[in-house]
Structures are given as structure tokens and as C-alpha cells.
């Protein structure tokens, strides 16, 4: 969902500002080059992901990583040779920013990635999340590969 339009002094909605890819949190992602740095994006409040969960900034989600994407060749029902992308491992993280392209029907989630620790919490006996080597790692993920949120 796009941010509501801001109102001018006369009460009329102002035109929504778009940001270049390089002006968003995406500028700090490991896969920054996945989009044109000059492409325009709108910041959003939330997005509905595949599990039909409402995902907003600050939500914790599981998503298929766009890193190490492999392509496979297959033949479709009309005997055409096609390519399909197999996304990598499952990533866990907190949503930092949600961006929508005003020209392409595409929504990208900027995810602060955490790893599931082998150590369980002493009281809750639940797996704990930690940053890889205590470093912040951001990745840009298409909303279509987000599996679930908490």
C-alpha cells in the first residue's frame, strides 16, 4: 500500500514523491545491482505476501533468497523450451523498507537478514536469531518470494 498523500496548506493532496533506487535503503543491499540505480520507487506502508499475511516495516518474515539463483531448463506443455529461476535458501529477517515501482507492477522488500542459531533460548527453548558475524546484511527481495511473516 502506498503512503497516503501528504496535504498542502490548501488541504489538497500533494503529488507523491518517488525516490531513485540509489536513494533508498536498497543502496546498502548486497544485491544493489539487481535494479537500475536511477529507477524510481515509492515507499509503501505494507504489502500482502504469498501467505496472505500483511507485512509492514518492522515485520519478521521468511523469504526465498534472491542470492545464488539458479536457472533450469524445462520443456512446457506446448513443447517449448523455457527457463525457470530457482531461488536460493530461505532467509529470515526484519523488513526495513517496502518499495513499489510506479511503472512496473513490482514490489521489493528490503530485508535485514538474520540467521537461525543452533542454540536455543534458555527460558523459552526456542531457536534464537542472530546477525551473521554481528554484521548488518541487507538484501532486496521481490515480495512474490516471501513465504510467511510473524
pLDDT of residue 88: 63
Q: Where are the beta strands (DSSP E) in the chain?
A: 19-20, 40-43, 46-48, 54-56, 60-64, 70-75, 81-86, 90-100, 107-120, 127-130, 138-142, 146-149
8-19 pLDDT tens trace: 777 776 677 789
Torsion angles phi and psi, residue 6, rounded to 5: -75, 150
pLDDT of residue 1: 47
Kindly state the cell numbers that stand for 143. 515480495
60-114 pLDDT tens trace: 988 888 776 544 444 555 555 554 445 567 888 999 999 998 887 889 999 999 9
Measured CA distances, 53 to 57, 61, 66, 67, 89 (Å): 13, 10, 20, 24, 21
> Among 16-25, 71-80, 118-127, which is the least confidently predicted range?
71-80
In order of their start, the domains of the chain are 19-149 (2.30.30)
Cα–Cα dist 81/22, whole Å = 36
Cα–Cα dist 69/89, whole Å = 9
8 A C-beta contact, residue 46 and residue 55: yes
Task: Give the residue among 120, 92, 98 at the shortest CA–CA distance from 110.
Answer: 98
* DSSP three-state, residue 25: helix
Cα–Cα dist 128/136, whole Å = 16
Amino acid at each position: 500500500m502506498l503512503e497516503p498523500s501528504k496535504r498542502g496548506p490548501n488541504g489538497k493532496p500533494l503529488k507523491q514523491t518517488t525516490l531513485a533506487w540509489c536513494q533508498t535503503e536498497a543502496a546498502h543491499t548486497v544485491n544493489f545491482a539487481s535494479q537500475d540505480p536511477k529507477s524510481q520507487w515509492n515507499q509503501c506502508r505494507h504489502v500482502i505476501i504469498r501467505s496472505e499475511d500483511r507485512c509492514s516495516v518492522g515485520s519478521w518474515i521468511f523469504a526465498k533468497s534472491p542470492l545464488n539463483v539458479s536457472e533450469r531448463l524445462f520443456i512446457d506443455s506446448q513443447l517449448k523450451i523455457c527457463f525457470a529461476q530457482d531461488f536460493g535458501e530461505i532467509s529470515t529477517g526484519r523488513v526495513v523498507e517496502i518499495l513499489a515501482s510506479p511503472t512496473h507492477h513490482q514490489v521489493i522488500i528490503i530485508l535485514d537478514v538474520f540467521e537461525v542459531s543452533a542454540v536455543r533460548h534458555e527460558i523459552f527453548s526456542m531457536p534464537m536469531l542472530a546477525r551473521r558475524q554481528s554484521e548488518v546484511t541487507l538484501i532486496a527481495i521481490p515480495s512474490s518470494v516471501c513465504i510467511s511473516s510473524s
